Amino acid sequence: MTSEAIITTKGRVEPANRPLTVAKAQVSQGIDVDPKMTQLVLAYSAFATLWLIIGTLIGEFMGFALVWPEMGSVAWLSFGRLRPVHTNMVFWGWASLGMLGLANYVVTVTSRVRLHSYALAWVALGLINTTVLIGTLCLLAGINNGGQEYREYIWPAMLPFAIALILSGYNFYHTIVARKTEEIYISNWWILSAIIWTTVLATIAYLPGYQEGMGQTIIQGYYMHQGVGMWFTPMVLGMAYYLVPKLLNTPIYSYSLGALAFSTQLLFYTMIGTHHFIFSPIPWWLQTVAIVFSIGMVIPVVAGTANFALTARGKWSMVRKSYALPFLAAGIFYYCFVSLQGSLEALRTANLYWHFTNFTVGHSHFSMYGFITFMIWGGIYGVLPHMTGRNPRQLLVGVHFWLAFVGIGIYGVSLSIGGHLQGVSWIAGEAFMESVRMMAPYWLWRAVGGTLMFLSHLVFAYNFWRMMPQKAAKTEDLAAVTGDEKSPQKGPSSANVEVANA
């Protein structure tokens, strides 16, 4: 059988030219990846990597500034200005561009068609870069949207991002409509829904007129939690539902578990934002609703994690043979861990100790770094070597993984311990400055962990450069298709890209 094969729900390998009544859980491997797609994914990934380096360099500076406060004596280097620069740059520059670049590929390969419009994808790339650039300059100049976490960019800066969302959604929708499969593969449920949810979210977050007093606080809680749960989470899970079965050479364990996770994510996540404001003047019943729905999030998290774990059952030995699978496995672990941790934090007793402390900072980094960033890295390592025919050095991929994995562990654990002690100190009635002095050693460990993480980003940037196509590469090499035997594969990366060869 040729490489133009698909894997069905029951694990059978069938030719790709069968009638269009294909199984729901299939992952298509027969779609050509033309040079335009290769260039597009490389461009999105390159700009994402650039913003990752700059954004985390700023984060590294802030980590040291907590140890040596005199570093931030200049206004535009103050913690208050640099912190939103750091968070927004890694949110919208690194993570969003990294996800969208891979999503362009996943939507086409699972629909077995070309992307509806490459021009729209390039315009979206330019618009998002414009948002990050203008937003950063405004924040450094002290022009911001007030003390509203993750939406510090003023609305003119966020407008290009909103337009890019609409263009990407339009592009993905028409690509999926033109699919050559009867069913919509589950990856595309997550990806397209993330675009729709986030477009609604951005509109609610920036519409004026009703955001005053406690209303603004309620919208803020809704916005900052939905940004993680309805943009980043569904996008990377959508990629995982394609990449994990592909790299393991097996169909996803259960289509039904995937559908359960998708529907309950939509049901429960939209109502949990106000658990950030327990014991605030927000109505008590609204706080209780947020707590109940936070506990309900156990359902999609357990369903999704179990689906990936059961898909990998009996195939864990393949992790050491792959560039991408270790990153995806770490991302799935952190998805389960940080989500269950978030449900626990919503409880009033836990919230009393942990909220407004450094525990929350550790939790957010476990989420955006341990979960989201590791999943994006897994996607890039899983897709780019196949598209370009160029592989990074296996040793340096391992160095990247362990620097990042150990770094986030040190970072998150130190802040979690220190943050808990902060809460205990406050409840005991001690002076606030006592808790600040107590945090000094934990902030030092934060700087150590952050340094390891930043070093891993430099290694990743080099690995990405190694995966770039050679200038003299032939067109057919750049246009390598998934499973195309003409695509040069070297070493362990062949385990990343060959799914249904027989």
Q: What is the mean pLDDT of residues 399-426?
A: 97
Phi-psi region of 142 (alpha: psi -120 to 50; beta: other; left: phi over 0): left
State how far the Cα of 401 lies from the Cα of 8, in Å rounded to an integer.
Answer: 32
Q: How confident is the model at residue 19 (pLDDT cuts 50, 70, 90)?
A: very low
In the chain, what percentage of residues exceed pLDDT 90?
69
Mean pLDDT of 360-372: 95
d(CA 313, CA 302) in angstroms, rounded, equals: 16
Answer for the pair 22, 48: CB distance below 8 angstroms, yes or no.
Answer: no
Residue 313 carries which DSSP code?
T
In this predicted structure, what is the pLDDT of residue 33? 64
Per-residue pLDDT tens digits for 455-501: 999 999 999 999 998 764 444 444 443 333 333 333 333 333 333 33
Token code pair at residue 415: 């802040």
Q: What is the mean pLDDT of the chain?
A: 86
Chain segment 120-168, per-residue pLDDT in tens? 999 999 999 999 999 999 999 999 988 788 899 999 999 999 999 999 9
For 429: left if phi > 0, alpha if psi spans -120 to 50, otherwise beta; the answer is left
Tell me what the mean pLDDT of segment 427-440 comes to: 94
Return the pLDDT at 481. Answer: 38
For residue range 319-352, list pLDDT tens digits in order: 888 999 999 999 999 999 999 999 999 999 999 9
Question: Cα 482 from chain centroid?
Answer: 23
Is the distance from CB of 347 to CB of 289 less than 8 angstroms? no
> Which has more confidence, 381 or 485?
381
